[in-house]
Structure 1
Amino acid sequence: MSDDAESTAAGDADDGPEYDVDFRERPEEYEVGRGEEGAFKVEPYKGELLPLWGYADREAADEGGEAIYDRFLEYRADDDLVGMDMARKYLQMGYTRAMRYARYPGGQKYDDGEERDPVRWADHDKREAALVYEAWWKRVEADDRYAEARAEHRERHG
């Protein structure tokens, strides 16, 4: 896992309660949401995907994006909506985290509680990483089986 993933995971681990649920065994307990919520809390997927995720540069994003997409395909083959959605979250998070570092020096969006003006481009390596993750993320979003499974899960479980 990259330093970026470690520090991000450590920072997010304190935000809100941990789930005491194995979501592979109890997929009905999973709530399909928007964005990246739960990416550091939904097990066993966090343990499977977080080690693959890194966005330090294009090389890390190429490796991470492909590995996470491969996991997405495995989850898809198993009709595992929670796994598919979690893979989508990690790909989306690769994009958003890398883009934050690309636009804000040191990834610091706020200074003394005030939002800083973004820079175009503060970190070109992170921008390249963001674009790689964006391509994988959009591929998942366009997957018909994923969209159908997500809609069915929402209908059944909310």
Structure 2
Amino acid sequence: MTDTNDGPEYDVDFREHPEQYEVGRGEEGVFKVEPYKGELLPLWGYADRETADEGGEAIYRQFREYREAGDFPGMDMARKYLQMGYTRAMRYARYPGGRKYQNGEERDPVHWADHDKREAALVYEVWWERVEADDAYRAAKEAHRER
């Protein structure tokens, strides 16, 4: 019996086949869509403000390279990593240890359980909003959806 969790989710190089890329919701695909996962994941981190500054800047720099190359899947994946930096850091900022559920029940959030993670989240939020407001990204997203 083969373990279906081994290897990439998709047997597709989305740079070679951008027409097969689906935008999806939120952060879908961040750990599955190659070659972008391999390029962006090593840049991403949210331990504290400094880590988020470095990660956000590096991912945004990669976003600009994708934009210049007309690589919409890359642009969107960079956006997803920035969004995930915000959401993951904020989860740890609001829930001790990042655990939203305890004994199957949703815990009440704590403001702020981890101030370093909150700072990291706020850094990523700025980079994420910059990408979302980018005219070239918006146009490419619309064109990709129309295909």
Is 1:47 matched up with 2:23? no
Are 1:79 and 2:70 matched, yes or no? yes
In structure 2, the residue matched to 1:11 is: none
Structure showing greater Rg: 2
**Residue 111 in structure 1 maps to residue 102 in structure 2:** yes
Q: What secondary structure sits across from 2:110 in the alignment?
A: coil
Aligned-residue offset at 1:34: 2.2
- Structure 1 stretches of 4+ with a deviation exceeding 2 A read none
Partner in structure 2 of residue 127 of structure 1: 118
Deviations for 1:5-61, whole angstroms, at most 9, x for unmatched residues? xxxxxxxxx5xx711100000000000122000000000000000000000000000
1:144 aligned residue: 135
The alignment partner of 2:111 has SS state of coil
Taking structure 2 as the reference length, the TM-score comes to 0.94
Rounded to whole Å, the distance in 2 between the matches of 1:136 and 1:108 is: 25
**Equivalent position SS for 2:9:** coil
> How many percent identity over aligned positions?
82
Cα distance in 2, alignment partners of residues 69 and 34 from structure 1: 20
Structure 1: segments with no counterpart, 5+ residues: 1-13
| Structure 2 stretches lacking a partner, 5+ long | none
Shift of 1:106: 0.2
Q: How many residue pairs were aligned?
A: 141
Q: What do the CA deviations read for 1:132-155 (whole angstroms, capped 9, x no partner)?
A: 000000000000100000000000
Please, which of 1, 7, 10 is the counterpart of residue 19 of structure 1?
10
Give me the CA root mean square deviation: 0.8
Residues 113-149 of structure 1, C-alpha deviations (whole Å, 9 max, x = no match): 1100000000000000000000000000000100000
